[in-house]
Amino acid sequence: MPGDIGGAQAQLLSAAQMSISARVRGVKLSDLDTAIWEDKSLTKAWAMRRTMFLIPSKDLALFVRGSALRAEREVRWVLGRGVPAAKLEGLVEAVLAALDEPVTTSALAAKLSRSTGFKVKQKVGGVGWGNRKKVPWVDFGALSLPAHYLLHLAGARGVYCSGPNAGSESTFVRADRWIPHWKDMPRIQAEKELLVRYLRAHGPSTVADFTIWTGMTAGDAKRVWSLAEDDMVSIDVEGWSASVLHDDLPELADAHLDRPVVRLLPFFDSFLLGHRSHRNIVGPGEHGQVYRPAGWVSPVLLVDGRAAGVWSHIRKNGTLEVDVRPFASLAPRVSSLVREEAEELGRFFDCPQVKVS
């Protein structure tokens, strides 16, 4: 299911899991933990925009290879600093080789030092704005690069994912050493299939929307867009032109609602991140309450596909407290469905008591 929505964004793993619960009735948090860490049918990995996503393991190559042009920008940046291409490719190969088991970035730096002779030092910075924690950096010719940045370079060439935490630290491991029955795919094939998945989840859309969603350059996005142009049809959406997959047009044309559709979407839900403009979801007066500074996207009360408010929750001693702040008065039927959604979230978290305000 996360593959059908273009991946569940997982800077906050709990938010990605809640995105799934909003779409799959009856699933519990414990089910998803089992799927990620035991069955390995779901995988956490960097993909579009070099952002963490929760992705079906069988689709991991599609999402990572399909969005690798974003990681290629990091390769170009290093080459632009005068590093010879052959030397950089050697480093990337060494990084991928070191990911043959789940390793932290500190362990990765140590393995690289042993296998390649690169010097490793501890420096402040390189992990988020204003972070004063010392982290490992690798001396690479005239450049000194934080160890975690090497993972982004490796993402342009190989496929890896998150492993289980080592204490409070994240680990990373090559997909072929983590996912049972791993299957890779060529980049060109993955790029076209990723575009098809994007359009199926977010169409009608434009190439500018796809550019923002993937994090590619405009030129790269246009080239990938051209791979599936024969499968698209252009339609008018309230005065602006956008594209949709030809095969999806009949279903969209026949779509109708028998009753209000209400969902409590979490932070960074994929539905809120598919387009450059968000006018299809939220009005200009409420835009700042949903799309906040520093890239934060609020949890949203969604009614018939439109943002009708924001919300928050707290879990404490087996009780789930849900606080909903609508942008305007809600109809009684909608208010009742909001409470049903909160009860469903309580079942997901295995909280026997649910309070809604």
Structural domains of the chain ordered from first start? 66-178 (no CATH), 186-255 (1.10.10.10), 262-356 (3.40.630)
Matching residue, tokens 């796809």: 210
Helical packing angle, 13-21 and 29-37, nearest 10°: 120
CB proximity list for 188: less than 8 A, separation 6 or greater: 227
Rounded distance, CA 52 to CA 347, Å?
A: 26
CB proximity list for 62: less than 8 A, separation 6 or greater: 3, 185, 190, 193, 194, 197
Q: What is the pLDDT of residue 123?
A: 83
Sign of the dihedral through C-alpha 135, 138, 144, 147: negative
Other residues' Cβ atoms within 10 Å of the Cβ of residue 273: 20
Digit-by-digit pLDDT tens for the chain (357 residues) are: 677 889 999 989 999 999 999 999 999 999 999 999 999 999 999 999 999 999 999 999 999 999 999 999 999 999 999 989 999 999 999 999 999 999 999 999 999 989 888 888 888 765 554 556 788 888 887 888 999 999 999 999 999 999 999 998 999 999 999 999 999 999 999 999 999 999 999 999 999 999 999 999 999 999 999 999 999 999 998 888 999 999 999 988 888 888 899 999 999 999 999 999 898 899 999 999 999 998 899 999 999 999 999 999 999 999 999 999 999 999 999 999 999 999 999 999 999 999 999
Report the DSSP pairing between strands 353-356 and 319-326: parallel
Helical packing angle, 147-154 and 85-98, nearest 10°: 100
Question: Could you tell me if 106 and 117 are in contact, meaning their C-beta atoms sit under 8 angstroms apart?
Answer: no
Collapse the DSSP code of 70 into the 3-class scheme (helix H, G, I; strand E, B; otherwise coil) and give the result: helix
Report the DSSP pairing between strands 262-265 and 169-174: unpaired
Other residues' Cβ atoms within 10 Å of the Cβ of residue 119: 12
Count the alpha carbons within 13 Å of 17 in the hemisphere toward its beta carbon. Answer: 17
Q: What is the pLDDT of residue 127?
A: 54
Q: Which residues, listed in sequence order, are joined to residue 243 by a DSSP beta bridge?
A: 205, 234
pTM (two decimals): 0.93
